[in-house]
Each structure stands twice: as C-alpha cells, then as structure tokens.
Structure 1
Amino acid sequence: MNKERSEEVRKIQLTGGSTFTLSLPKKWVEEMDLEAGEKMVVEEQGSSLLLSPAKLEQEESARQAEVNITSDESLDTINRKILSLYLVGYNLIKIKPAEERLKSSQRKGIKEFVRKKLVGTEIISESIEEIKLQTLLSYSELSAKGALRRMYSVATSMQENAMTALEEGDKTLANDVIEIDDEVDRFQMYLIREVKAAIRNPSILEEIGLKSMRECLGYRLVSKNVERVGDHAALVAKNVLEMEETISDESLEMIKEINSFANSIFEKAAESFFEEDYEASEEVIQELREIYRMEEKVNQFLTKESPPEAIRVRLILESIRRIAEYGSDIAEIVLNLTIDKK
C-alpha cells in the first residue's frame, strides 16, 4: 500500500543569533527510528535540500540475507530468490539447505548463475552446507552511467557481429553473439540494483553518479531498451544459425544498408541520453520514418528469394526495425528528461 504524500510548511528559526534551524516532523522521526543527537546527511539539489539519516549508509553496506532451500527446489526458483535479494541491495547472501546438505547440481547451478548474471558478486565460501555470496563492487566503482555505457557498448558490438555472421555465413560467430547476450543482462541487473538502492536511500545518488530520482527513472527505462536491443541482436544471430541457404548479394546489401541506418539511430539516441541533448533526440525520432520505407523496399524484393530464406530474412528485418524503434523510445525519454532545460 502506497503512503500518501504529506506536506507541511515550517518556519525557519534563528537561534543563538547566527544559526538557522528547521524542526523535523515528529511522525517522520519516529518512523525512521531516530533520536536526538543522531547525524543527518544534507545534500543540495538545486533549490531543494535532501535530508536522510546518516545511519542509512551504514545499514546499506551491512545488509545480509539468508535463503533456505529444499532438495527438490528447482534451480530457476533458487536463482530467482538470489536475484531478487541482489536487486534490492543485499551485500551478503547465505544459501543454506533446509535439510542436510546442498545438492551438487544446485551448487553448480548457483555458481554458474552468479558468474553469468551478478556483476561484482563473488562466492566467498562454499561447502555442502552453505554457499556465501558477497557483492564486493561498491557503487562508486561502477556508476549507473558506467553500467549503462557498458550495456550499450556490448549491444552495439553484438549487432555488428551478427551482421558480419550473416554476411560471411559464420555460424561460430553467430553462436558467440548469442552467448554474449548474458553480458548485457548482467549490467542491467547491476544498474537496477543501483537505482533501487538510491530510491531506498537518496543520499547515495551522488555515489552512483546521478543527480535526481527523475534521472534514476530515466536510466531504468533506457536500460530496458538497451537490453531489448541486445535481445534482437541475438535473434538476428539465431536466424543466421538456422539458415540453410545463402541469400543473394543484392538482398544482403539491402539488409546491410538498413542495419547501418538502424544502428545509427540507436547510437545517436544513446549519445543524446548521455549528453542530455534535446535537439539530437528530436532528430532521432524524425529519422525513424525512413526505417519503415527501407523495410518495405526490402520486403518487396524478397519475392526473388527462396521461400525458407525469405522467412529468415523477414525475421532479421523485423529485429533490425525493432532496434531502430528502441532507439526512438530512448530519444523520447531524453525529450521528457530535458524539456525543462530548453
């Protein structure tokens, strides 16, 4: 249940002839379990001040959780529990069996999941009775912007390599593209963890490299679009794997042309977000129309292709168009975040 937002108008008092003071609402002090003499963190955010208890930062670094699992519990269920605890900011996660010991398959699956999905998290101890996971990477070591830039870099590399795999008929490269999709997911999970931590404790905003809750929302939304770009690059690679025949040189050139334009839209959108560039994001949205025209042109040409491969090419075209559309979605987020700076 959401709490209703409460607002009060309080007067600034002058005490001792040189100190300005403002009293805190009693109800809020009690809810936060604060007492007289405790320290508060005061941060300037434009014309506003952000107040948060200093002890929140100490609690943040000491958060621990324990997961008890049964021998018949599926690995997917176990990993979802671990991921949920990671996302809400627990730094030490203990995994224990409800019975005597952890099954070998469970231990192996947990270790693989941690390696593939959880940035900055290590297994610090392991036995048949317990596995301890600890997140060792601090927010300041990898900012939200750094995590998103890593996602963006991997996603664009995936799409470039997927096109190379199509052009050269390289199924090994196509497999590599599919496997590296986990890297995009890893950094998205880490970014979500940072954003959730900032929502819970606004005093760490500066530590994760952001300025406001509004910016947190922007990073969360953009990360989802970048993650979907990675997914569609992997889909292009999967269609390359399933192709039994090569496509004509003319079709390939048309696909490369539309792919280059789609990537350009995505890259411009991402940079407009990082640079908070309203004009550049507006240009991206205008350019999206050209993708639809190019896609229609290729589809009309595909009647010359053999039926099985025409289907694959259309699926590849759909993924390319979706990549451009996700770029446009990012540009719209930039417009919403920067409109008041115009």
Structure 2
Amino acid sequence: MKRNVMLMGGKTYVISLPAPWIKKHGIKKGEELDVQEEGGRVVIESGKGAKMPRQRRIDVSNLPPLVYRTMIRVYEEGFDEIEIKFDDPVSISKLESVSDALIGLEIVKQERNSWILKVISETSKEDFESVFRRLFYLIEALGDETLDAAKNGNKTALQKLLGKEHNINKFAYYALRLLNKYGYKEGYRTQMFYYILEQLERIGDVYIELINLLLKSDLRLKKEIVDLVGKIVALFQKCHIATFELTKGHAVDCSLLHETIKKRINDSLDTKSAEEVRILLCLRELRYEIISILGAQLAHIKDM
C-alpha cells in the first residue's frame, strides 16, 4: 500500500490513513495515535486493536499427549476466549493444570465434553518490560539456590526448588502472549525478544533437570563439578546484566566465561563416572542455552 505525501501550510507533511483500518479500530477525529520512528519506517498504532476479543475453538480429542502444550500455544498467540472440546478424562486433568499455569485465564463454563476458558484480567503492552525482567530474576535466584544446595549437599532444599519451575513458565508464557498481542515497542526487535523468552523458559527447564540429577546422586560431588555449577550461575548473571546494558565489555566478559566453561566440561567428560557425566552434559546444555541469549543480541551492542 502506498500513500502520497501532501504539504499543508508550507510546513506540515501529511499522509492519509487507510479507511478500512480507521473503521476497524474505531478512530475518531481528534483522537491521538502512537507514532514511532524505526529507522526508515514510521509505525502508527491505535492502541485499540489488541483489546478486541479474539476467540478460538479447538478439539483436543485423541490428542492427550499434546493437550497441555496446545493450550499454552493458543494462549500465547493472544486468544482471549478458548472453547475446548475433548472426549476423555485425561484431557480434563491436563486442562485443569494448564489453566493454573496461564496468567489471567479462568474456566468460565464446564460441560461434559467441552469447556470455555476466558482471559479475565486485561493485559497491557506496558506489562512486558517488568515481566521480562522478573523472568531473569526468577532464574537467577533458582541458579543461586541450586548452587548453595549443591555445595551443602542439601537434598531438602533441592526438593523445594522443583516448585519454582511453575512461576518461571507462567511468566514466560505471559510475556510471549504480550509479544504476540502487541509486539515489542521497537517492532524490528520483536523476533529477538521472542527467541530470548523461549530460551529463558528452556533454561528454567534445564535447571530443573539438573536439580533432579542432583537429587538422584549422593551429592558427594567433586569440587570441580560444584565449581562448574558456580560458573554456570555466574554466566547467567553476566548475560542478565548484558541484556539490559549491552556493551562490548559485557559481551566479551560473557564470551570469555562461556569458553572457559566449555573447555572445562569437554576436558572432564572422559574422566568422570556415569553419574557425573550426566550432570556435566546438563551443565553443557545450560551453557549453550544461556550464551544463546547473548548471541541473539549482538547486533544491538550500544558502543559498537
């Protein structure tokens, strides 16, 4: 779609907005619109479109293994009302658990073979920044507490940490929903933030895998492995800082620590017991998932 630029009063340049867009979003004369410059583009937002209810009907019959994940994806896509049809009791238990994991989503109608779930609390694109930051703090706290429990051989503390995955996932799903509904304020970075959020969710999952491995072990871990857990925790902390203040120095610090961890893990794999190897492989995966967060942002180094 192209528009001609008009000059009014000798100073003001004006273009017309598409009539279907005006009608769809109920734009009135004198109303304010959000206008943002993004390089060679100008983005105009009404602030109304995302508030319009969106409904989706799905049938999860014969889909028991994927009911949970399917519901999460429909929620993340931004639908505000979801009607679900199913044909087995297994789906019911999974639907109950998934509704607890999705912020704002409530069951408003239950029938024998169908439920209706609705987002009750209104979302706002302004929520994204605080939710995004909170995810980093939740994962950082999980790493710190995992390290402390591993150092002290405290299985009770480790067992308690398993419940923290719920909050990490909940905020990750919510942040992904916000991105799908509103996009990021700088539209060209939306895809980057989507990737980072999926990595954060994955990092939370791998930490839980690590905790389960530690629970199965006798926790008489060699100092070398405990030190590696500490370096993984430090790597995430550095990537956390870099995400909100990405300079060359922060990027290099992350990269150097990543390479140190990579070498130590690879050098250790051939000399450890099967139990220790499983832990090392889990740490290797954490290293990769964490450094991928930095890799996604390298085009946006501030002093480059």
Pair in the same fold by TM > 0.5: yes
Question: What TM-score bracket applies, with the shorter chain setting the length?
Answer: 0.7 to 0.9
Match of 1:338 in 2: 301
Deviations along 1:157-215, whole A, 9 cap, x unmatched?
3333334444444444444333432322222221211111124xxxxxxxxxx430233
Contact 1:114 1:121 in 2 (8 A): yes
Contact 1:68 1:96 in 2 (8 A): yes
Q: Residues 102-141 of structure 1: matches in 2 within 5 Å?
A: 105-116=90-101, 118-128=102-112, 131-140=115-124
Q: Which moved more, 1:293-302 or 1:329-338?
A: 293-302
Return the alpha-carbon distance in structure 2 between the equivalents of residues 318 and 103 of structure 1.
Answer: 38
Match of 1:84 in 2: 73
Match of 1:306 in 2: none
Return the alpha-carbon distance in structure 1 between the equivalents of residues 197 and 89 of structure 2.
Answer: 35
- Please state if 1:197 is matched with 2:176: no
Match of 2:237 in 1: 267
Return the alpha-carbon distance in structure 2 between the equivalents of residues 292 and 68 of structure 1.
Answer: 44
Contact 1:282 1:335 in 2 (8 A): no
Q: Look up the SS of the partner of 2:178 in the other structure.
A: helix
Q: Look up the SS of the partner of 2:228 in the other structure.
A: helix
TM-score (norm 2): 0.81
Deviations along 1:24-65, whole A, 9 cap, x unmatched?
4xxx645x4749x9447241326653224x3xx444323232
Return the alpha-carbon distance in structure 1 between the equivalents of residues 228 and 68 of structure 2.
Answer: 39
**Pairing partner for 2:133 from 149, 153, 161:** 149
TM superposition shift of 1:241: 2.8
**Pairing partner for 2:143 from 141, 155, 159:** 159
TM-score (norm 1): 0.73
- Please state if 1:51 is matched with 2:70: no
Give the RMSD, CA atoms, in angstroms.
3.3
TM superposition shift of 1:234: 1.3
**Pairing partner for 1:284 from 254, 269, 283:** 254
Query: Structure 2, unaligned stretches of length 5 or more?
Result: none
Return the alpha-carbon distance in structure 2 between the equivalents of residues 114 and 88 of structure 1.
Answer: 15
- Counterpart AA for 1:82: M
Q: Residues 36-75 of structure 1: matches in 2 within 5 Å?
A: 38-39=27-28, 41-45=33-37, 48-52=41-45, 54=46, 57-67=47-57, 69=59, 72-75=61-64
Q: Which has the larger radius of gyration?
A: 1
Contact 1:269 1:328 in 2 (8 A): yes
TM superposition shift of 1:283: 2.1
Contact 1:270 1:327 in 2 (8 A): no
Q: Look up the SS of the partner of 1:264 in the other structure.
A: helix
